[in-house]
Every structure is written in C-alpha cells, then in structure tokens.
Amino acid sequence: MLTAIDPSNGETLHEFAPASAEQVERILADGETAYRDWRQTSFAQRAEVLRKAANVMRDDVDRLAILMTEEMGKPIKEARGEVEKAAWCAEHYAEHAEQYLATETLASDAHHSYVSYEPLGVILGILPWNAPFWLAFRYCAPTLMAGNVCVMKHDPHVPACAQAIADVFVRAGAPQNIFLNLPLETPAVEAVIRDPRVQAVSFTGSEKGGAAVASIAASEIKHSVLELGGSDPAIVLADADLETAADTLTLSRIINAGQSCIAAKRIIVEAPVYDQMVELLTERLAKLKLGDPREESTDIGPIARADLRDNLHRQVNDTLSAGARCVLGGELPSGPGFYYPVTLLTNVTESMCGAREETFGPVAVVMKAQDEADAIRIANNTPYGLAAAVWSDAKRGEAIAAQLETGQVAVNGIVKTDPRLPSGGIKRSGMGRELGPHGIREFVNAKQVWVGPKQG
C-alpha cells in the first residue's frame, strides 16, 4: 500500500492501492498512444495546455498546498509558494519552449544543414517527497512542451499530492493521457524503466536511488537525468556583508525544515569573522518557530518521516561525539510527530559526520577556514557537487565560483532553482540538467539533417 502519514502527529492519513500489473500495462499503453498525437501538436497548442494547468493551480492554491502540509509536513505558507512556483514553471516553458528548441542551421558542405529538436516518446519521472508539486512541474513542463508524454511515479508517501497533480491536467482539459500518474511501490519501478515504451528517465532523489536508476536505464541503453544529494558549501569571507549573508543563509538552511538538496549545509567562514558570523546565525536561528505546519506563524515543520529524523539525530550525535559544539538544538523533542529543533553546530571539521554526509533537516554546520584558498579547498572536499554560495566582493566571488566543483553557484545570494536557469550537479550529485534551455534539451532527439546537393 502507498501510505501517507501525517508527520505532525505520526497518524495515518490515508492509504492508496498501488497500480496492478494490468493497470501499469494500461498506463504505459495509453501513454504511447497519446504520444502519437501529442508529438504532432504545435508549440502554441502545447503552451495552451500548460497555461491552463498553471491557472488551475493558482485558482486552487489553498487546497493543493494543504495536501503537501498534511503528507510531508511543509509549512502552509511555503506550500502555497510551491504551488505558485510550479505554475510559474508551466508558464515559463509555455512562453519559451519554442525558442529553446528552435532549429539550428549549421554550416557544412551541404546546400543546407541543420539540427532539429524532436520528441522521444514516453518519459518516466521518478520523484521524491520533499517538493511534490515543484519537482513534478520541473520535470513535466519542459518534457511536455518538447512533445513528449509524461508518466510520473511519485514518492509512495505523497499519494494524494501525486493524484492531485495528475488531476490538474484533467481539469485543464489537456488531451487524454499526455500526463499519467503511476502509483507504485518503489521496487516495482525497475520493470517500468525496462519497458520498451519508456524512452528515458528523470530521477530526483538519493544518491543510492540514483545509482540504481542509472544502472538499470544504462543496461537498457536509455538516457537518464539525475538530481541527487548535496552537501552544499556556503563560503563567507571577511569582506562579506555579514548581516545579509546571515539572513540569507538562515533562510537557505531552514526552508522546508532543511529538507532541500540545495540548502546551505556547510557554512565555511573565514577565520577573522568566524565568531561574529556564528553570533549572527545564532541570533537568527534562535528566533525561528518550530510547530504545526498548518499554522501561518510556523517557520519550521516536522521532518517528513520518523526514519529520516532518526538518521538526522544520529548525524548530529556523531558530529558532537567527534568534538563539535552544539550552540542550539540537538535534542529530540518529546511528544507526537517527527519534529527536530533548529540546530547549530560549530567547530565542525572536515572529518566529522556533519561535514561528510548530507544533513537533511534544520541543522546548520559552521566550519572555519584560514583564508580564501582554504575555504575553496574545504568546499571542494566532498563527493558531492550540486550547488554552492559565495559571500564576498562580487568580482572576487565570481573568481571563486570558477574554482568550485558544483553545478551552480550563487554569489551574494540564495541558491535556488529557477525555470529560467539550468540546474543540476556533478560528481555524486547527479548528471544532466533540468530547467532553462538546457533542461528541455535533455529529452529530445537532436537530429542532424543534411540537404544536398553538396557544395564546393
């Protein structure tokens, strides 16, 4: 069963039966059939569908938002923002997909030679629980606008969100079966990846899960895009605007109760301003309210599952046992739900758990660097390479950005995903790109066409 548990109290919300073998077969067959017509539609026709889907979400934002709050604990004010961002993503690709996929003329010995970008077919999206609507539209908006059909296998812990996302397209009057919800328990997804009707896979999730998906897809000679974990560094140098940096890094660390791949996880501070930065972070983090995610005043809701909270607490304890200092939090609260307090760990070194592993929760880790070169070395000393931030003079920050081994860098700003800009990681944080013009080109056939007669 696909079971949703309310993380604010640990009680079961609802259960959904996973798709049977017959239902999986029908979903894949329906997707393949829908693709034959959808691929023939114009960009204008596809854009109309995406714009209507965006309108449906905006008109129903409160009902859609509470589904996330109930199933995975996202504070209601953040949940509304996520629905709005998903709508923006749909609108962005409706507006820009034709430009992003415009045919490119390339000079050769042909009378005329060019590259056209054509759809592939049915694209499987395997999605996590931490941003149910945003990640669904990050995957489906460019994929649909390219002329593909989407089959979405969402996380088993957010089944109502998954069904609501599929219903958005029905309510928008989209052509039948261009977007299909595939409710499955995770072990059953391998057979779907291997199915010949599935042409490629988009996966967002853990490093372990990504490795499994990539290996299965590769064994079938299928393309996959992976957005995996991160231990994202944020470098704060002595010439930074410390007050603004502290404000931004506090927000970055605690959005979605810290359950974000691109959250600032290792705050690396140059020695001369280390103590001051710790003081500024302490002041801001201490003001945040942990509580019921349904309340408008709540800043931080619960961790999504009990096992995730247990692992987070293990990471904190291991880091403290190795010699780190706990300035805030660090103790499991009593009472129902999977809450974890805002925690600030200082004097963290590179060998400690909090610096080596991805911490998925409201735990800020502060590390000291002797100078700029040391800060860059510490930042790159990780198997991950998703995103990073630099706080310094802008020109100096850009120079440092060029030396950081990550897929994206924010200089004097928050690391975020934006439909206009590509996002993705290197090393063990994944491969391929999502969003922007780069993302829509992941699931297309870049077809070279040579038209004679030969010239010269």
| Residue-wise pLDDT tens digits, 237-275 | 999 999 999 999 999 999 999 999 999 999 999 999 999
User: Which fold, 233-420?
Assistant: Aldehyde Dehydrogenase; Chain A, domain 2 (3.40.309)
- The whole-angstrom separation of Cα 367 and Cα 349 is 6
How much is the pLDDT for 380? 98
Contact 118, 103 (CB under 8 A): no
How much is the pLDDT for 24? 98
Which helix H or strand E contains 389, and what residues bound it?
Answer: strand 387-391
- The whole-angstrom separation of Cα 358 and Cα 266 is 9
pLDDT tier at 281, thresholds 50, 70, 90: very high
Catalytic residue among 227, 270, 357, 434: 227
Catalytic residue among 261, 270, 353, 357: 261
- The whole-angstrom separation of Cα 397 and Cα 390 is 6
Averaged pLDDT, 171-190: 97
| Residue-wise pLDDT tens digits, 335-347 | 999 999 999 999 9
- Going by C-alpha positions, the residue among 327, 439, 417, 428 that lies closest to residue 130 is 417
Helix, strand, or coil here: 224?
strand
Per-residue pLDDT at 456 exceeds 90: no
Burial tier of 305 (Cβ tally within 10 Å: 0-12, 13-18, 19+): middle
| Residue-wise pLDDT tens digits, 23-56 | 999 999 999 999 999 999 999 999 999 999 999 9
- The whole-angstrom separation of Cα 398 and Cα 410 is 9
Evaluate whether 2-228+430-450 and 233-420 have a shared fold. Answer: no
Break the chain into its structural domains and give their ranges: 2-228+430-450, 233-420
- The whole-angstrom separation of Cα 382 and Cα 359 is 13
Contact 202, 143 (CB under 8 A): yes
- The whole-angstrom separation of Cα 232 and Cα 266 is 6
For the chain, percent of residues with pLDDT exceeding 90: 100
- DSSP-assigned letters across all residues of 174-188: PPTTSEEE----GGG
Per-residue pLDDT at 207 exceeds 90: yes
Q: Is 261 a catalytic residue?
A: yes
Beta-bridge partners for 391: 236
| CA atoms 426, 431, 435, 438: torsion sign | positive
309: its two tokens: 């909270």
Averaged pLDDT, 190-218: 98
| Residue-wise pLDDT tens digits, 121-157 | 999 999 999 999 999 999 999 999 999 999 999 999 9
Contact 354, 365 (CB under 8 A): yes
- Going by C-alpha positions, the residue among 374, 351, 355 that lies closest to residue 363 is 355
Per-residue pLDDT at 205 exceeds 80: yes
Termini Cα distance of the chain: 66
* CA 116 vs CA 37, 102, 143, 436: distances in Å: 19, 7, 16, 18
Contact 200, 213 (CB under 8 A): no
CATH 3.30.450.40 is the classification of domain 2-228+430-450: no
| Residue-wise pLDDT tens digits, 352-390 | 999 999 999 999 999 999 999 999 999 999 999 999 999
How much is the pLDDT for 334? 92
Kindly give the pairing relationship between strand 122-126 and strand 112-119.
Answer: unpaired
